[in-house]
Structure 1
Amino acid sequence: MMTASLSMPLVSSLRRLFRNKAILIGAIILAVVLVAAVLAPWVAPYAPNKLSIVNKLKAPSLAHVFGTDEFGRDIFSRAIYAGRISLLVSLGVVCISTVLGVILGVAAGFFRKLDAPISRLLDAMMSFPDILLAIALVAALGPSLTTVILALGITYAPRLARIVRGSTLVLRELPYIEAAVAMGLPTWQILTRHVLLNLASPILVQATFVFASAMLAEASLSFLGVGVSTDMPTWGTMLASGREYMNNAPWLMVFPGLAIVFSVLALQLLGDGLRDLVDPRLAKES
């Protein structure tokens, strides 16, 4: 009976979650991308770097669904493997930016003396365009997969920090937080039990948008030649290599571009849907 009673709120929450069309559509698209990326060795018909000069620049066909590139490599296979890199980078960026953003945001919102210096730091970082700041960090640290994740994680941390700071400022003024402080509870206990738990929803929503932005930024860095190693297929490098053949072989850019568009669209739909659930007023206004 206890198991059944505990499962009811979960089932109700899931129904409410997937009743939102934006979340449902976004989740389906993202699930397809995720499954294809995870099962790439079984889904992809060819190795991503298998060369075949005889088959170079072949148009889409039954043998090569998305066609081939200038080296005869199967674009469908490369697009699937590229999805693994994009998802890995985006997930790493979300983890780093969330940790940094929560630390800076809670520190600025809860400790009054730290608010001004941290806010100035965040303002300074956000004054630069995201892609420009990421390029500068990658140039300083050296191009690699780890560097790209770290650079983008630092770049998007201020976004989360500003959201967390604003929410923490509101929470700090609530009666039960003031009562906990007056009772002399340890600061770490107040933060973990009362503040961080109430920050979960806005953090989740913002992290979804950061995931989409990170995916787009990784593709941009790879397109500009300052992203991950060229040995790894990424949607950005596929777009970059296809520029020279856009007139004669447009499929070199069309399919990687569509992969980026649909992946980012799915994440944006998820973020919008989650935001509407967290703050129903936004749903009514829209």
Structure 2
Amino acid sequence: MAGPAPAAFAAPGFRKLLFQRPSVVVALMLFLLIVATCFLLPALGVTSIGGMSVRNRLTPPGAEYMLGADAFGRDVLGRLLVAGQTSLGIGLGVALLSSAAGVVIGLVAGFFRRLDTPLSRLIDAMMAFPDILLALSLVAIFGGSMVNVILALSVVYAPRIARIVRASTLVIRELPYVEAARALGTRTPTIMVTHVLRNILSPIMVQATFIFAYAMLAEAGLSFLGVGVDPKIPTWGIMINEGRQYIDNAFFLILFPGLAIALSVLSLQIVGDGLRDALDPKLAKET
């Protein structure tokens, strides 16, 4: 006996609710444009970082370099797009990994009463630390690399997912259809996945969208502090860190990566708000 399908996804007006605000549509299109630009243009050979040219160092934006050249004479536009691949990849990796870990911890804590207290105390303890400080500590322990940054930020943000999943599981496990599944002898893992997890996908998706944005900001902060990804791998945070010493006479070196981060994070936040409003039955009913 399966639980009811998530009402938010089955509702015929879901798309209307999601896109009824023009800001959500604009934000979604903007984010997709940023992703497509970062991954397609370098792959098609439209832009490239190019070699170093001391003669062209710190060249302002113009015909030769659309967004200018950095301190080594490299094209800022090409480097910005390649750096975007890393920053977006880290954000997506953290969103997926933290969501997976948070779902497992939250389901176990909410479904098994014996494990609820210790796991809840662990979640509370991890959330008591400021995100950036905990991430700094973990990266300092494991070392600076793309994989380690994703792992560290996933540890930081997994408790947010776990807390939401645990709270929802505590409610759903007492519902009649879950009790009926138990009475019919359905295996516990099947109940957890089919009857519980299936009905809490909405808040998980919304929170994962926000974590995507938070992770990009955190990665930029770590790279700006010099403890993030290897400096040989460009990210938007590393570009800002490298360009800050030239802010007086080449402010564009930090302007464009800063705008890329701001627009990506802002668009994700707006899309997340739209998802939340569309997937929340109460808000959908009011609308």
Report if the CA contact (8 A) 1:219-1:234 is conserved. yes
Q: Higher mean Cα deviation, 171-180 or 102-111?
A: 171-180
Structure 2 CA distance for aligned equivalents of residues 217 and 44 of structure 1? 30
Report if the CA contact (8 A) 2:110-2:167 is conserved. yes
Residues 262-277 of structure 1 mapped to structure 2, 5 A cutoff: 262-277=263-278
Please tell me whether residue 259 in structure 1 is matched to residue 257 in structure 2.
Answer: no
Structure 2 CA distance for aligned equivalents of residues 281 and 44 of structure 1? 48
Report the Cα offset of residue 15 of structure 1: 4.7
Q: Higher mean Cα deviation, 62-71 or 197-206?
A: 62-71
Residues 111-150 of structure 1 mapped to structure 2, 5 A cutoff: 111-150=112-151
Report the Cα offset of residue 22 of structure 1: 3.6
Report the Cα offset of residue 217 of structure 1: 0.7
Q: Higher mean Cα deviation, 118-127 or 272-281?
A: 272-281
Q: Tell me the residue number matched to 2:234.
A: 233
Q: Tell me the residue number matched to 1:163.
A: 164
Q: Higher mean Cα deviation, 180-189 or 149-158?
A: 180-189
Report the Cα offset of residue 205 of structure 1: 0.4
TM-score, structure 2 as length reference: 0.91
Residues 55-74 of structure 1 mapped to structure 2, 5 A cutoff: 55-74=56-75
The alignment partner of 2:60 has SS state of: coil
Structure 1 CA distance for aligned equivalents of residues 104 and 50 of structure 2? 41
Q: Tell me the residue number matched to 2:92.
A: 91
Report the Cα offset of residue 179 of structure 1: 2.1
Report the Cα offset of residue 77 of structure 1: 1.0
Report the Cα offset of residue 64 of structure 1: 1.1
Report if the CA contact (8 A) 1:36-1:43 is conserved. no
Structure 2: 5+ residue stretches without partners: 1-9
Structure 1 CA distance for aligned equivalents of residues 63 and 12 of structure 2? 43
Report the Cα offset of residue 90 of structure 1: 1.0
Structure 1: 5+ residue stretches without partners: 1-8
Q: Tell me the residue number matched to 1:4.
A: none
Higher relative contact order (CA 8 A, sep 6+): 2
The alignment partner of 1:88 has SS state of: helix
Letter in 1 for 2:230: S
Letter in 2 for 1:170: V
The alignment partner of 1:233 has SS state of: coil
Letter in 1 for 2:211: V
Structure 1 CA distance for aligned equivalents of residues 25 and 12 of structure 2? 16
Report if the CA contact (8 A) 1:44-1:80 is conserved. no
**Cα displacement string for residues 72-129 of structure 1 (whole angstroms, at most 9, x for unaligned residues):** 1111111111110011111111111011100000111111111100010001111111
Structure 2 CA distance for aligned equivalents of residues 271 and 247 of structure 1? 36
Letter in 2 for 1:100: A
Letter in 1 for 2:178: I
Q: Tell me the residue number matched to 1:152.
A: 153
Report if the CA contact (8 A) 1:25-1:269 is conserved. no
Report the Cα offset of residue 284 of structure 1: 8.6
Q: Tell me the residue number matched to 2:6.
A: none
Structure 2 CA distance for aligned equivalents of residues 184 and 42 of structure 1? 53
Q: CA RMSD in A?
A: 2.1
Q: Higher mean Cα deviation, 253-262 or 168-177?
A: 168-177
TM-score, structure 1 as length reference: 0.91
Q: Higher mean Cα deviation, 9-18 or 96-105?
A: 9-18
Report if the CA contact (8 A) 2:219-2:237 is conserved. yes
Count of matched residue positions in the alignment of Structure 1 and Structure 2: 278
Letter in 2 for 1:94: A
Report if the CA contact (8 A) 1:66-1:75 is conserved. yes
Structure 2 CA distance for aligned equivalents of residues 44 and 248 of structure 1? 30
Structure 1 CA distance for aligned equivalents of residues 117 and 156 of structure 2? 20
**Cα displacement string for residues 8-63 of structure 1 (whole angstroms, at most 9, x for unaligned residues):** x8996445433343431221111111101211325675532621111111111122
Q: Tell me the residue number matched to 1:246.
A: 247
Q: Tell me the residue number matched to 1:192.
A: 193
